[in-house]
Amino acid sequence: MAQQLSFDGDVVIVGGGLAGQTLALALHSAGVSVAVVDVLPFSTQLDDRFDGRASALAYTSMRMLDTLGAGARLREFTQRIEDIVVCDGRPDDGLRPGGPGPHSLHFDRHEIHPGADGEPLGWMAENRHARLAMTEAIAPRSDISVFAPARAVDWVRSPAFTDVRLDDGRLLRGRLLVACDGKFSSIRRREGTRTFGWGYGQKGIVATVEHDAPHNGVAYEYFMPSGPFAILPLSGNRSSLVWTEKAAAADALEAMDADGFHEALRARFGNFLGEVRETGPRWTYPLTLNVAERFHADGIAYCGDAARGIHPLAGQGFNLGIRDAAALAEIVAEQKRLGLDLGSTIGLKRYESWRRLDSIALVGATDLFNRLFSNDIAPLRMARGLGLALVDRIPPARRFFMRHAGGEIGDLPKLLRGESLAA
Ligand SMILES: Cc1cc2nc3c(=O)[nH]c(=O)nc-3n(C[C@H](O)[C@H](O)[C@H](O)COP(=O)(O)OP(=O)(O)OC[C@H]3O[C@@H](n4cnc5c(N)ncnc54)[C@H](O)[C@@H]3O)c2cc1C
């Protein structure tokens, strides 16, 4: 006798992290029936100790979260990014009191979004709050079927659908399977989709700090020889640090007691925001690049880090996942309206080509910037200082970079323009 199906609908998403939950909301908003599977119960993702990162959300990403009904809740916790300062820091510079030195680049949101209440360059959101806003938006939508905790252990493609087996024996059927199962996606691996990438030999230490002076919504990225050091504004007089170091140095920083870390922090941070203190725990993330050669397999789409996981220096990984979700949901909604096969190769190829350029641009840019800046080689230092100063003096170049960081590039999916997918 055939096994009873626990879900029989349009799309099964494996992986309910930030990308998977965004995609579930996007598909649901278009009238597509959806199931989300995650190894962890959603409540675990909301635990304060689960994810200490904060994400810089591009302004187009926030437009989409607003349209999907998660933005208002998230905005209760977010901080506007008004300016971004990029600087070629050197260890003996420290972080100068009063701000960056002459070889720096300044992005001011007024240049692209003028007016006192113009859109910011982006929004800083602690991941725990982004996860909270997302799960709260999903909870009342009882027709988003959540299977968590459960692990997807097997999947079989038939011409018209894919059956996904969970480790507790339940069986889910979707016309399309989407792998949102992260950088080391087991679906992508088992499908034999090749990836390219490498480890950076660096780790990102993430910590939240409090400082005496207000940050005024300015995000700082200092390129140091060991890797970028980012100071990202959070609500109140707080900032999130992403302190990149070679792996051994990062391990040493992670192991330091509070006094030792405070001393190291003061030496690196300087006092341009007054006295600075670490609040709460420290997290460490090994930094790698993993890019899937294709963004789909037979009846399967890869989304978020499962499609490509990049260096965090540009703060774009989650944004890429949001943009994947926007494009994929729009394609699936259109196919459903036209009565087409949701897992067809034509649709999947369209998804891939829509997302390819943005992905390649960010994979290339983050990798190149990390290589170019993470050293103390004198001629390179001079060249990059000149490069930063040059872009700083060319307003169209500045505006181009701000719009790209805001996700406003190429043919924008509707959700990123703040338009609904509802028919
Ligand atoms: C230090 C650091 C700072 C960052 N800062 C930013 C930033 O400022 N802005 C930004 O946009 N991005 C940033 N990122 C990147 C961003 O955090 C990631 O791109 C994003 O979290 C990836 O989300 P995801 O849902 O694709 O993958 P994941 O978060 O890895 O989620 C995958 C999910 O799949 C589940 N799963 C896996 N296998 C299975 C299975 N077989 N069955 C069921 N479930 C499964 C896992 O439990 C998990 O919940 C940063 C990253 C780092 C490391």
Cα gap 88→385, rounded to integer Å: 6
Domain at 406, CATH number: 3.50.50.60
Q: Is the CB of 38 under 6 A from ligand 1?
A: yes
Residues 6+ apart with CB under 8 A from 253: 205, 243, 245, 261, 264, 282
Distance 19 CA to ligand 1 centre (A): 7
Atom of ligand 1 nearest to the CA of 206: 1
Mean pLDDT, to the nearest integer, of 304-327? 97
Among 22, 55, 188, residue to substitute to test ligand 1 (most atoms within 8 Å of Cβ): 55
212 CA → ligand 1 middle, Å: 32
Ligand 1 atom, smallest distance to 319 CA: 11
d(C-alpha 24, C-alpha 185), whole Å: 18
**93: Cα separation from own chain's centroid:** 30
**Does ligand 1 have an atom closer than 6 angstroms to the CB of 50?**
no
Region label for 20, one of left (φ > 0), alpha (ψ between -120 and 50) or beta (otherwise)? alpha
- Per-residue tokens: 356: 């390819």
Report strand pairing: 276-292 vs 308-309.
antiparallel
Domain-located, residue 202: yes
Banded model confidence at residue 97, pLDDT cuts 50, 70, 90: very low
Domain assignment of residue 260, yes or no = yes
State CA 139 to chain mean position distance.
22
Q: How far apart are CA 63 and CA 119, in angstroms?
A: 10
When the pLDDT of each residue in the chain is averaged and rounded to a whole number, the result is 93
Answer whether residue 365 shows pLDDT above 60: yes
Nearest-angstrom CA–CA distance, 254 and 281: 10
Distance 178 CA to ligand 1 centre (A): 15
Residues 120-166: pLDDT tens digits? 999 999 999 999 999 999 999 999 999 999 999 999 999 999 999 99
Contact 141 CB / ligand 1 (< 6 Å): no
Residue 227 structure tokens: 């890797």
Residue 1 located in a structural domain: no
Ligand 1 neighbour 233 (Cβ under 6 A) = no
Max intra-chain CA distance, the chain: 74
Number of CB atoms found within 10 A of residue 99's CB: 15
- Whether 292 maps to a domain, the answer reads yes
Ligand 1 neighbourhood includes 15 CB (under 6 angstroms): yes
Q: What is the rounded CA–CA span in Å between residue 319 and residue 367?
A: 17
Query: Quick one: which of 329, 391, 71 has its CA closest to 180?
Result: 329
Structure tokens at 194: 């090749």
Between the CA of 362 and the centroid of ligand 1 the distance, in Å, is 17
Nearest to 347 by CA among 307, 299, 308, 303: 299
How many separate domains does the chain show? 1
Mutation pick for ligand 1 pocket among 121, 126, 245, 305 (CB with most ligand atoms within 8 Å)? 305
Q: Ligand 1 centroid vs 158 CA: distance in angstroms?
A: 29
Ligand 1 centroid to residue 420 C-alpha, Å: 25
230 CB less than 6 Å from ligand 1? no
Q: Is the CB of 19 under 6 A from ligand 1?
A: yes
Tell me how far apart the alpha carbons of residues 72 and 95 are, in angstroms, rounded to a whole number: 35
Q: What is the pLDDT of residue 100?
A: 56
- For 326, the domain range is 7-417
**Integer Rg of the chain from CA:** 22
Q: Which of 199, 200, 197 is nearest to 375 (CA)?
A: 200
CA distance 406 to 314: 11
Give me ligand 1 centre to Cα 18, in Å.
Answer: 6
**Residue 216 reports pLDDT greater than 90:** yes
CA of 142 to the centre of ligand 1 (A): 24
Say yes or no: CB of residue 131 within 6 Å of ligand 1: no
Q: What is the pLDDT of residue 91?
A: 45
Q: Is 366 in the pocket of ligand 1 (CB under 6 A)?
A: no
Instruction: Report the sign of the C-alpha dihedral through residues 76, 81, 125, 284, in that order.
Output: negative
pLDDT tens digits for range 30-86: 999 999 999 999 999 999 889 999 999 999 999 999 999 999 999 999 999 999 999
Q: What is the average pLDDT across 345-358? A: 97
Q: Is residue 2 part of a domain?
A: no
Q: Which of 21, 47, 51, 53 to mutate to test the pocket of ligand 1 (most atoms within 8 A of CB)?
A: 53
Compute the distance between CA of residue 308 and CA of residue 303 in angstroms, rounded to an integer: 8
Residue 111 and residue 398 in contact, taking contact as beta carbons nearer than 8 Å: yes
Q: Which amino acid is at 174?
A: G
Centre of ligand 1 from the C-alpha of residue 24, in Å: 15
The reply to whether 423 falls in a domain is no
As a whole-number percent, the residues of the chain with pLDDT over 90 amount to 83
Is 23 a domain residue? yes
Instruction: Tell me the residue type at 97.
Output: P
- Mean pLDDT calculated for residue range 343-352: 97
- DSSP H or E run through 227: strand 227-234
CA distance 152 to 300: 14
CA–CA dist 349, 25 (Å, integer): 22
For residues 29 and 420, the answer to whether their CB atoms sit within 8 Å is: yes
Q: Is the pTM of this model over 0.85?
A: yes
Dihedral sign for Cα 305, 330, 136, 61, please: positive
Decide whether any atom of ligand 1 lies within 6 Å of the 315 Cβ. yes
Task: Give yes or no for a contact between 1 and 43, defined as CB atoms under 8 angstroms apart.
Answer: no
**2 secondary structure, DSSP code:** P
- For the beta sheet containing 79-81, the strands, ordered from the edge strand earlier in sequence to the opposite edge, are 54-58, 122-126, 79-81
Instruction: Evaluate whether residue 375 is within a structural domain.
Output: yes
